[in-house]
Amino acid sequence: MKYIRAGIAQINTTVGDLDGNTRKIIQFIKEAKRLKINLITFPELAITGYPPKDLLLKTKFIKENQQRLQDIVKETEGIIAIVGFVHDDGDVFNSAAVIHDRKIIGIQHKIHLPNYGVFDEKRYFKAGRETFVFETDTVVFGVSICEDIWVPGFPTENQCHAGAELIINISASPYHIGKPDFRKNMFMTRASDNIVNLIFNNLVGGQDDLVFDGNGLLIDCSGNTIAEGKLFKEDLVFSDISLEDVKRTRLRDPRAREFQQKPENFNVSKVISRGKTRISTDRKLKQLDVRENPFLVKKRVVEKDPFKEIYDALVLGVGDYVRKNGFKKVVIGLSGGIDSSITATIAVDALGAENVVGIAMPSHISSRHSLEDAQELAKNLKIKLEKIPIYEVYKSYIGTLFPVFKGTKPGITEENLQARIRGNILMAFSNKFGYLLLTTGNKSELSMGYTTLYGDMAGGFAVISDVPKTLVYELSKYRNSMSKKPQIPERCLTKEPSAELRSNQKDTDSLPDYNILDGILHLCVELDKSIEEIVALGYEEKIVKDVVIRVDRNEYKRQQAAPGIRITPKAFGSGRRIPITNKFRG
């Protein structure tokens, strides 16, 4: 039997840290050798980190990334390594270096450049036109980069027709809700349709607003997953892949007759490597257990909690943003409400309780239970809590403004003063001690502008800015279910949400019920449906019009908001570009 031991090094890179990323790649190559892996893969743009954005306009950056590749090549004796990097060949390409036994045997350029949503690759890269199959002493394989395999046909199909036994796809595929399962099903289909073994290596880690979930895959030529990388964690996963199964299956399948054609007939160039791959004859095969009779034994189905995946993405996003930007601790304003409670809980899970400080800032409007709930949360999470009342500061503000406000009725301006005082206190604490201030606003509020500019929006990172209010509750219930003692006070989950900027205030005074609002926002923001289309789905026209108008009108606030973690297919930020000055409604 002909096998190759193939591995996925799903690593957490940092954009611009060429030295650190290179050291990590070399470390994983050495570990792969120890595990007797023949072929090791790394993510898209592993040397530079992804996405490097306008760093790609700096010639020094590109040059140094290519120099680091040479450092990696020196460490590849007896092994095949696929490494993502930026290749400058007159034009700049998003590329994969194919290295065998201390020699670069080929460079595969990315062919299909995504230019939608959060992707902007045509701004920086030229699209590749040529594809290859690489023939080594152990395996014939093709390489593609991220989007290349999402597009049916070229280059994957052509590489298989030209004799590839294995397709390697290196990616930086960012997470959103539902994507891991969708992506896995797509890769299983690609493998079975093309009768080829498939490796998918995905980046893991947080990068500004993006979270990459890892979850690398090794899939056999029948579409079965034989190994799978962890979600949201660095991992080195490997398996022994049968290459004879590809040939055997293709012989049985009439569709595969054309696979026996010459590579040049499919616009594919063949590269033959003279390098040597170190093969260990004493290793035991690492594969799925195939001893069980599939007709007698039912496969165990593991039920996944749909909220665990989302929560883990938020934890990773916070942890990486804080650490990669040189912070050690964070500060959060604790109101006693559900939003600040889940934000603090995520921060503790990401950074540890000793690195999170809460500040409660009660006013003359605040209810007694708000402070009690903030104190109970801090006690449950074991975080330090500072209490700074704001009423005296508020009175001073009102007194200072009285001469110019004289003769006007108190209203939203006076309400927002409280939020802005709190924002000033939090930023002063951040400034004095060097802590990162985490904001606590959710997507529902941010969509509607139900937030105070330079008040509760003040901060450096918006943890739940892409989490609708209804999902905030579900994530809070999930997190409580994971502890022997619930971390978030029960009253935070049951009391009516309120900004507490005026007496007896409730969110529903200014907003529709969140169950209705979040449904409309999903259709309007994430699916770009018109008012007429949303109303046709059963929503009240008056409410829909009000929501859509307020979403559009508050774009100016969102463009001044702190960056936040993207968990939906369309978050506010780089993936949604609406002009501030805009008269269109609908």
Query: For 244-269, what is each residue's pLDDT tens digit?
Result: 888 888 878 766 665 555 555 567 78
pLDDT score recorded for residue 284: 60
User: Beta 91-100 vs 104-109: how paired, if at all?
Assistant: antiparallel
pLDDT score recorded for residue 191: 92
Determine the Cα–Cα distance for residues 124 and 104; give it in Å rounded to an integer: 24
**Is 90 labelled as part of a ligand binding site?**
no
306-559: CATH topology? Rossmann fold (3.40.50)
Give the closest residue to 150 by CA, choosing from 117, 186, 124: 186
Residue 171's SS3 state is strand
pLDDT score recorded for residue 264: 58
**Is 416 labelled as part of a ligand binding site?**
yes
DSSP character for 354?
G
> Which CATH architecture describes the domain 3-272?
4-Layer Sandwich (3.60)
Q: Please answer whether residues 72 and 22 qualify as being in contact, where contact means their C-beta atoms are separated by less than 8 angstroms.
A: yes
**Is 338 labelled as part of a ligand binding site?**
yes
List the chain pLDDT tens, one digit each, 586 residues: 588 899 999 999 999 999 999 999 999 999 999 999 999 999 999 999 999 999 999 999 999 999 999 999 999 999 999 999 999 989 999 999 999 999 999 999 999 999 988 889 989 999 999 999 999 988 889 999 999 999 988 899 888 888 899 999 999 999 999 999 999 999 999 999 998 999 999 999 999 999 999 999 999 988 999 999 999 999 999 999 988 888 888 878 766 665 555 555 567 787 777 777 776 655 565 554 443 443 333 344 445 688 999 999 999 999 999 999 999 999 999 999 999 999 999 999 999 999 999 999 998 877 788 888 899 999 999 999 999 999 999 999 999 999 999 989 999 998 899 999 999 999 999 999 999 999 999 999 999 999 999 999 999 999 999 999 999 999 999 999 998 889 999 999 998 877 666 677 777 777 899 999 999 999 999 999 999 999 999 999 999 999 999 999 999 999 999 999 999 999 998 888 898 888 888 7
Residue type, 577: R
**Is 171 labelled as part of a ligand binding site?**
no
Determine the Cα–Cα distance for residues 10 and 212; give it in Å rounded to an integer: 10
**Is 334 labelled as part of a ligand binding site?**
yes
Q: Please answer whether residues 227 and 238 qualify as being in contact, where contact means their C-beta atoms are separated by less than 8 angstroms.
A: yes
**Is 440 labelled as part of a ligand binding site?**
yes
pLDDT score recorded for residue 279: 66
* Residue that is written with structure tokens 């395999």 in the block: 149
**Is 163 labelled as part of a ligand binding site?**
no
pLDDT score recorded for residue 85: 98
User: Beta 330-333 vs 384-387: how paired, if at all?
Assistant: unpaired
Q: ∠ CA 443-306-460 to the nearest 5 degrees?
A: 35
**Is 282 labelled as part of a ligand binding site?**
no
Query: For 438-470, what is each residue's pLDDT tens digit?
Result: 999 999 999 999 999 999 999 999 999 999 999
Residue 229's SS3 state is coil
What separation in angstroms does the CA of 173 have from each of 41, 82, 277, 440? Answer: 15, 17, 30, 27
pLDDT score recorded for residue 252: 80
**Is 460 labelled as part of a ligand binding site?**
no
pLDDT score recorded for residue 282: 55
**Is 144 labelled as part of a ligand binding site?**
no
Bridge partner list, 132: 269
Determine the Cα–Cα distance for residues 161 and 260; give it in Å rounded to an integer: 7
91 phi and psi angles, rounded to 5 deg: -105, 165
Determine the Cα–Cα distance for residues 468 and 459; give it in Å rounded to an integer: 19
Structure tokens belonging to residue 54: 């306008």
Determine the Cα–Cα distance for residues 192 and 172; give it in Å rounded to an integer: 23
301 phi and psi angles, rounded to 5 deg: -95, 120
**For the chain, where do the domains classified as CATH 3.60.110.10 start and end?**
3-272
**Is 20 labelled as part of a ligand binding site?**
no
pLDDT score recorded for residue 146: 94
Overall size of the chain counted in residues: 586
Task: List the catalytic residues.
Answer: 44, 110, 146
**For the chain, where do the domains classified as CATH 3.40.50.620 start and end?**
306-559
**Is 179 labelled as part of a ligand binding site?**
yes
pLDDT score recorded for residue 302: 47
* Residue that is written with structure tokens 């409400």 in the block: 337
Residue 411's SS3 state is coil
Determine the Cα–Cα distance for residues 407 and 405; give it in Å rounded to an integer: 6
- Strand order through the sheet with 197-202: 225-228, 217-219, 197-202, 166-171, 140-145, 131-135, 268-272
pLDDT score recorded for residue 190: 94
User: Beta 166-171 vs 140-145: how paired, if at all?
Assistant: parallel
**Is 336 labelled as part of a ligand binding site?**
yes
